Amino acid sequence: MSMDRQHLYGLVVEAPFDLHQERPVASGRATDVRVATGAPTTQRDEPDGRVVLHHALAGDPWYTAWDRGPQGYLLRFHDACDFVLSRDTADVMLHPAEGSDPGLSRVLTTGGMLAFVLHLRRELVLHASAVETADGAVAFVGYSGMGKSTMAALLCAEGAQLVTDDVLRLDARDGGFVARLGATELRLRKGADSLVDRFDGRAPGRRVSADARHVLQVGDGARDRAPLRAVVVPQPDREPGARLAVRRLEGRVALLEMLRYPRFHGWQDPGLQADQLAHAAAVARGVPVLVADVPWGPPFAPDLGAQLGRLLDEALSDVTPGVAGRALVSEAGR
């Protein structure tokens, strides 16, 4: 059986299907997470163990995880798949839900499942897309649909390199943080995929994922462990005449903003809850946290990516610890 091996979030991941990434593994590197596929599941059972994670939307369960003691963990994405993890999280058995699209469980393998592994390993994980510019990495944090991937695509079209999409692992270093390489694809909602036309002469590959996202395959040019320059929270502004604006948050306001956007909602394990708080506090204390009000499309202003890059550079050149930065506003609008 052919195995795909990729270097994602500081882990060497091996699976018997295409992970749709371009992060080659250096020779001699041992595998950190091995994925195998098992029989389909009805998901009608109530697994043994202690619930450590549960999240529902509009009353319908979205994902649940159980700590099963020596047997390891079970991570369930309802109506999609189950991941059965060994206690050390090195071995994972994927069971697709009966009747589900197999492609959906593969999307969740490189996203939700690996994010869960990182949390269990006590790594610092943000719900973020990130790019590398000449001065380091910039992370875009937010809920699904807030524009994380769109912001990354805008800057990649201006020459930035993609660090990751949707899941960002950070490692502490020299009083700050470095960004670990993750996904090499940007998963965009319909409409935002029009940004592909801005990649002059270097148009990325395109496909549609099992969850109906428009995927841009932008490659692996970023460095691993690029210093993190800033965390940016995009706030889409759909009002006519909206203008791009960037402002910096400080202190408790920055921490509360960071806590609003975890990769997983609904942790019920006290240790993992404490980790989430400690990690958010460390990032808010060690890295500038910015909010970007972004005039939203489609269509997007032709110079929006360039203006965003300029305002971020200006905001980060005016960083005084403990003092909120002035709001920077661009003339760029719709």
First to last CA, the chain: 51
Residues in the chain: 334
Q: Are residues 295 and 207 in the same domain?
A: yes
Two tokens, residue 114: 């690996």
- pLDDT tens-place string over residues 116-156: 999 999 999 999 999 999 899 999 999 998 999 999 999 99
Q: Are residues 266 and 321 in the same domain?
A: yes
pLDDT band of 321, cuts 50, 70, 90: very low
In a domain, 56, yes or no: yes
Q: Are residues 76 and 171 in the same domain?
A: no
- pLDDT tens-place string over residues 180-204: 999 999 999 887 878 888 887 667 8
Residue partners of 41: CB distance under 8 A and separation at least 6: 81, 82, 95, 96, 97, 98
In a domain, 309, yes or no: yes
In a domain, 235, yes or no: yes
pLDDT band of 319, cuts 50, 70, 90: low
In a domain, 254, yes or no: yes
Q: Are residues 152 and 298 in the same domain?
A: yes
When divided into structural domains, the chain yields a total of 2
Residue partners of 178: CB distance under 8 A and separation at least 6: 137, 170, 171, 225, 226, 227, 228
In a domain, 308, yes or no: yes
Q: Are residues 101 and 182 in the same domain?
A: no
Q: Are residues 116 and 159 in the same domain?
A: no
pTM comes to: 0.94
Note down the domain range covering 55: 4-121
Q: Are residues 108 and 81 in the same domain?
A: yes
Provide Rg for the chain, Cα atoms: 20
Two tokens, residue 128: 């973020």
CATH code, domain with 290: 3.40.50
End of a domain among 96, 121, 146? 121
Q: Are residues 116 and 161 in the same domain?
A: no
pLDDT band of 219, cuts 50, 70, 90: confident
In a domain, 289, yes or no: yes
In a domain, 334, yes or no: no
